[in-house]
A and B are shown apart, each in its own frame.
Chain A
Amino acid sequence: MLAEALGLSAVLFIIGVIGVLIRRNAIIIFLCVELMLNAVNLTFIALSRYYGMGGQVFVLFVMTVAAAEASVGLAIIISIFRHQQTVDLRNINVMKG
């Protein structure tokens, strides 16, 4: 089942990458990043059966980082929304020059 789990995780990661590339809604891009983190977690879990418990501990750390990233990222999105009244990345181009 190792090969199947790794394949599933690769497919989920690529769906996340494609989501980041084709969407313009900032919140959905964030959700795609979460999907990519989940795919990596699946790799850790699948390999931890063969390479020791470290993989499962790492997944706990990834979850913590994901929680921290979600809270800070969403605070940034709320702050952008206050200025621009939108989360569409087409309208957020103050750094474009």
Chain B
Amino acid sequence: MDNYGLFYQFHFYLFGIIAIVAAVTFVTRRSPVAAAMWLVVVMFCLAAEYVMLDAQFIAAMQVLLYAGAIMVIFLFVIMLLNLGEASDVSDIHGIAGKLLAGFIGVVFLAEVGFLTRNGLPSGKYVAGRDYLSQQLAQYGAVGAVAKPLYQDYALAFELTSVLLLVAIAGAVILGRKESSRAR
């Protein structure tokens, strides 16, 4: 039903395959720094997929926030705690843990397959085929996200600021030295 060009499809699959390979590499690396770097690769591939799925603003946010800010915090902590070196003993669980994890993975995949077999839900909540391109043409890539964010979801947006405030306070209190007993 969708009419995508070969160029589009090729790059969609290319970035998807790179993302899966990088994710598997990320999970199996022993050194935390290498694992974090492979996760950055996954996030860049996902940003490319977002662009192809007509979410250009979210793709920019993905690169700036996830691949930029959040991963820098992680790398900063890894360096700060001097965990960059891979430990001598593997931190991967034994054969029983691997079997359990594989079993749960297969169960999840089977569940997804079962749920999507009946097709995607349709009805009054489904927007028209050209809904997103209309929105993009009318408001632009940023405006199309900003309009619902500041109108329909304004309360949630304000509550997000409270969440960030709580997170800042929590991080400061947790990171404080033990010696300061004035709690």
Contacts and interface: CB of A to CB of B under 8 A. Distances in A.
Given A61-B156, A63-B66, A34 B105 contact: no
Contact of B35 (A12, A31, A64, A77): A31
The secondary structure that dominates the B interface is helix
A60 B175 contact: no
A78 B81 contact: yes
B57 to A, nearest CB: 7
Contacts of A64: 160, 163-164
Contacts of A3: 116
Nearest to B136: A53
A63 B109 CA distance: 25
A38 B43 contact: yes
A66 B69 CA distance: 11
Contact of B20 (A2, A11, A31): A11
Interface range on chain B (Cβ under 8 Å from partner): 35 or more
Contact of A54 (B19, B62, B126, B148): B148
A53 to B, nearest CB: 5
A63 B61 contact: yes
Contacts of B166: 68
A34 to B, nearest CB: 7
Interface string A48-59: 111111101101
Interface in A8-26: 8, 10-19, 21-25
Given A13-B108, A53-B147, A77-B77, 17 more contacts: A8-B16, A14-B108, A15-B24, A19-B26, A23-B27, A28-B35, A28-B91, A35-B26, A45-B50, A45-B55, A52-B125, A52-B127, A61-B153, A70-B70, A79-B174, A82-B178, A87-B83
19 contacts: A4-B13, A8-B19, A14-B105, A14-B109, A18-B101, A19-B27, A24-B91, A24-B92, A31-B36, A35-B39, A50-B126, A56-B58, A60-B61, A61-B156, A67-B167, A70-B73, A74-B74, A78-B77, A82-B178
